[in-house]
């Protein structure tokens, strides 16, 4: 477990890496006694500083929702990060990678909550009841510390979240079987990945329920109007200057972004 001084130092390292586009040293090596609780405290410190400087909290993201991804970092549950208004991009927008370090893209569904959701006993059905609509989303991820990273590095770094793009056709959560939403991800016109949303814990709403229950011991919940990224159902696709990404969600439409 780290003391407050080390947590503050770790937060400063990650914020400087984000500002300059130069990766910080691995936190797990710099702070050998670092634990997952430290990582969430560091993440919260960074988010609180950004909010104090004018950013606005718009929701959360859930990561590491597949067993395969969890096994690579030695955990048995997902992790989460925060979504700020400064992290949102428009469908069709050109996004600069100048300050990004290892940018990648994931295919997800975003749940837009119509009412608050509070754990510790939130269920899939509670999530469906609280959700106003579900919409296709791309998550842009980036690592602000050097690879290979452990779970403590990833969580402290806001679960690697760098941006979110919403697009396509919003749907009510009970109008379709969300488990079978499928997508194809193309980079520069070539199919790179495909998948179905059941790959997210069997049902993407289960990730949202997990998050509500995970936040409950800290006295917080998910707020009405907030957006929750439920987790990727494809592998990540690396991007760089000149790349155009298009995610085709079939009946739910598509999302396109260009990187410069």
- The pTM (predicted TM-score) of the whole model is 0.94
**24 pairs with which residues across the strands?**
145
Average pLDDT over all residues of the chain = 94
Distance CA 229, CA 76 (A): 19
Domain of residue 253 covers 4-259
Banded model confidence at residue 76, pLDDT cuts 50, 70, 90: low
pLDDT confidence of residue 144: 94
Note the pLDDT tens digit of each residue in 122-158.
Answer: 999 999 999 999 999 999 999 999 988 888 999 999 9
Q: How many residues does the chain have?
A: 260
Q: Please determine, for residue 69, whether its predicted confidence score (pLDDT) is greater than 90.
A: no
Which of 128, 146, 145, 136 lies closest to 105 in space, CA to CA? 136
CATH number of the domain bearing residue 28: 3.90.850.10
Ordered strands of the 182-187 beta sheet? 94-95, 254-259, 244-248, 182-187, 190-196
Note the pLDDT tens digit of each residue in 29-59.
Answer: 999 999 999 999 999 999 999 999 999 999 9
Number of structural domains in the chain:
1
Which of 133, 152, 8, 157 lies closest to 82 in space, CA to CA? 157
Q: Please determine, for residue 9, whether its predicted confidence score (pLDDT) is greater than 60.
A: yes
Cβ 216 vs Cβ 119: under 8 Å: yes
What is the chain's alpha carbon radius of gyration, rounded to the nearest angstrom? 17
- The backbone region for 225, taken as left when phi is positive above 0, alpha when psi lies in -120 to 50, beta otherwise, is left
């Amino acid at each position: 477990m780290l003391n407050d001084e080390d947590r503050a130092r770790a937060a400063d390292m990650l914020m400087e890496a984000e500002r300059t586009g130069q990766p910080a040293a691995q936190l797990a090596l710099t702070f050998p006694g670092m634990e997952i609780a430290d990582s969430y405290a560091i993440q919260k410190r960074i988010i609180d500083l950004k909010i104090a400087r004018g950013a606005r909290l718009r929701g959360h993201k859930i990561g590491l929702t597949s067993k395969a991804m969890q096994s690579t970092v030695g955990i048995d549950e997902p992790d989460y990060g925060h979504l700020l208004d400064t992290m949102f991009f428009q469908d069709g927008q050109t996004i600069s990678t100048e300050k990004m370090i290892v940018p990648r893209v994931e295919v997800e569904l975003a749940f837009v909550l119509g009412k608050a959701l509070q754990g510790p006993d939130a269920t899939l059905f509670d999530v469906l009841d609280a959700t106003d609509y579900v919409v296709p989303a791309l998550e842009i991820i980036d690592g602000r510390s050097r690879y290979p990273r452990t779970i403590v590095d990833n969580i402290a770094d806001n679960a690697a979240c760098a941006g979110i793009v919403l697009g396509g056709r919003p749907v009510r959560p009970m109008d379709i079987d969300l488990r079978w939403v499928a997508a194809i991800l193309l980079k520069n016109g070539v199919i790179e990945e495909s998948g179905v949303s059941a790959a997210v814990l069997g049902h993407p709403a289960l990730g949202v329920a997990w998050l509500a229950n995970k936040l409950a011991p800290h006295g917080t919940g998910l707020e009405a109007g907030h957006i929750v990224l439920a987790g990727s159902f494809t592998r990540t696709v690396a991007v760089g200057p000149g790349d155009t990404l298009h995610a085709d969600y079939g009946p739910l439409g598509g999302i396109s972004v260009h990187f410069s």
